[in-house]
A and B are shown apart, each in its own frame.
Chain A
Amino acid sequence: MNHLDRDTLNLYLDAQLSDSERAAVEQHLADCNACRAEMSAARELFTALAQWQDKPLPRDLTASVMARVAEERSGARTTRRLALVLGAQALVAFGVALWLALPRLGYLGELVPQMELGTWLAVGRTLLQVGLPIPYVPPTQVAAVLLVLVLLWLVSNHLLLGKRDARKQERV
């Protein structure tokens, strides 16, 4: 008689066999003492694992988990605010650059305020292909714009990150 292999025994115990396979195994078990003994030994392990007693929790984790969750939420909020501020800064920088450049772009400068979206895109494509005209901007104006942008950066970072640092200090 061919005995059941251990793989089949495991699949049987894990209820992974089809109905016909299961019936065949049960038929074999009814006729074979050796396989019945093997199955019984395997079942003992299953029973021991099923009777496992959980340990008591050494301490409640809710408060510490929720503190970390709060930190995570505030971090996510800061990142969103930072993205918003960076976006605003980029817009301001673009606006200032455009304001400085328009009077110096000649005929293009006069056209820009009247252009529609399609024209904007066409001009953008052309400029990408032929290169941007580089207008002359006096160094004092460049320095002033840079100064304003740096100030904006510092102020917004202080507003965003200062609060987070203060919260960290409070926790410490």
Chain B
Amino acid sequence: MAWSLALAWHGPLAGARAALGRGVKLDDAELAARTLNGDSDAYGELVRRHQKGVYNAAYRLVGNKQDALDLAQEAFLRAYKALATYDPARPFAPWIHTIVTNLALNLLRQRRPHASLEDDETLAADERAQPERALASRERQDALRRALLKLPPRQRAVIELRHFQDLSYDEIAQALGISVSDVKSELYRGRQRLREWVER
């Protein structure tokens, strides 16, 4: 590949920032490997790439901006400390999302769940373009957001990992330390409740 030749030319001392500055697109596994070799710019790039997704996962789970930001930061720090256990053959996103989901679960277990998500301050692009259709879609999504936050923490976490991170039943069971049959029943109950609340 072109980028690997470019890296070879610039030698092992060339950092992730230099590589990215030359327009070289490093994949997540390469960035993780460079981080483990002491290149902190590489980890900065991983954070930049995944921060929005990690923040949104946390936001869906806790329903509060500040908590979501704190959880996202904590997740990246935990991931940095545990980076040696990350399997580079697998994608980075589900791994970091599993970490943030577990952190959010711990937080939810310590606290009473929030009643609702904060109001959105920003409109998505398609809402500005097609206000009426977007309004219906936005209302439906708001109903879903509210319903999601009414779920017990574990059902919320299972829905998050299955629907938003696309993890298999086995992976969810492993990530949350529960059995596959628990995953199935929590998914089933969670979806039932979501349907009931959204249709109400």
Contact = CB atoms under 8 A, between A and B. Distances in A.
A61 B141 contact: no
A48 B52 contact: no
Interface of A: 6-7, 10-11, 14, 16, 41-42, 44-46, 48-62, 64-66, 68-70, 72-73
A56 B73 CA distance: 16
B65 interface: yes
B131 interface: no
A66 B40 contact: yes
Contacts of A57: 51-52, 55
18 contacts: A10-B187, A14-B187, A41-B195, A45-B195, A45-B198, A49-B144, A51-B137, A56-B122, A57-B52, A58-B69, A60-B48, A61-B55, A61-B73, A65-B77, A66-B47, A68-B73, A68-B77, A72-B77
Contact of A69 (B59, B77, B163): B77
Given A45-B194, A61-B51, A69-B76, 10 more contacts: A10-B187, A10-B188, A46-B163, A48-B140, A49-B163, A54-B52, A61-B47, A65-B76, A72-B77, A72-B81
Interface residues of A, dominant DSSP: helix
B85 to A, nearest CB: 16
Given A61-B76, A69-B43, A45 B191 contact: yes
B162 to A, nearest CB: 7
A42 B194 CA distance: 10
A66 B141 contact: no
Contacts of A59: 69
B69 A70 contact: no
B56 interface: yes
Contact of B80 (A11, A45, A50, A72): A72
Q: Which 4 A-B pairs have the closest CB atoms?
A: A49-B163, A54-B56, A65-B76, A61-B51
Nearest to B126: A53
B141 A52 contact: yes
Nearest to A50: B163
B53 interface: yes
B135 to A, nearest CB: 13
Contact of A65 (B47, B124, B191): B47
Contacts of B191: 10, 42, 45
Contacts of A44: 195
B92 interface: no
A14 B56 contact: no
Interface string B67-84: 001001100110011000
Contacts of B169: 14, 16
